[in-house]
Amino acid sequence: MNFPSNLFNSHSKEDGNFFAGITRILGFKPKNLQIFKKAFLHRSTNRKDDQGNPMNYERLEFLGDSMLGTIISKYLYNEVPEGDEGYLTKMRSKIVSREHLNELGKDLNLIEYVESRIPKSHFGDNIHGNVFEALVGAIYLDKGYKYCEKFITERVIGPYVDIEVLEGKVISYKSLIIEWCQKKKIPFNYNVYEDTGNDSLKHFAVKLSIDNKVIAKARATSKKKAEERASKRAYFALQGRMGTP
């Protein structure tokens, strides 16, 4: 894949600093540095290639997500021969959860290399996981499957994956609450409404009622986050009745 030489308007010193930083993160030298630059290019820059196609990390993020899922699936298949399809799927979901990927991106300080017209302080947590996936996609395009697997093994599986710990890790407290209520035939309701208040960003608030009683409340910048926070608070409030996940 060839990119115009002036696409990123980088000076050689900047290229050298970026090359050194990416090499440190990867553990090996990239061949085509421009692919990796694209992995850190936010859509707010409005860059386009010679054909007028948008240039940002989102397509690489899509590719990296697929590669990450494939390599983690292979690892689990070999590591847990007794695990059935449902177990393997659940464990893979825990490893590649958005929360986990955000943690990986933060630990590698990937946001340092993001090029954007938006102040980095305005980004949400998901930018860390998104760029991590884009980086995986860039590795695959630049060096192939072998190096992609090497990176994921050394940077994800080795330091972060513990099968026994993951077996007890909760992916979604909301799912736990819903499953428990349905099993016990207890009515529940998530009452979500906008609650911006004095915040510059739009916020949503949620009241979680179980058995016609408000058990937990929460606020967040999205409905999904607010529901998950309320569910987590409700889970710990009801832990004596619900038991362990």
Catalytic residues: 65, 133
Q: Which residue in the block uniquely carries the two structure tokens 């017209």?
A: 117
CB under 8 Å to 214, separation ≥6 — which residues?
Answer: 207, 208
In 131-236, DSSP assigns E strands to: 188-194, 204-210, 213-220
Q: Token digits for 102?
A: 């955000």
- C-alpha dihedral, 208 to 89 to 81 to 67, nearest 10°: -130
Planar angle of CA 174, 176, 181, nearest 5 degrees = 95
DSSP for 119-138, written as a single string:
-GGG--THHHHHHHHHHHHH
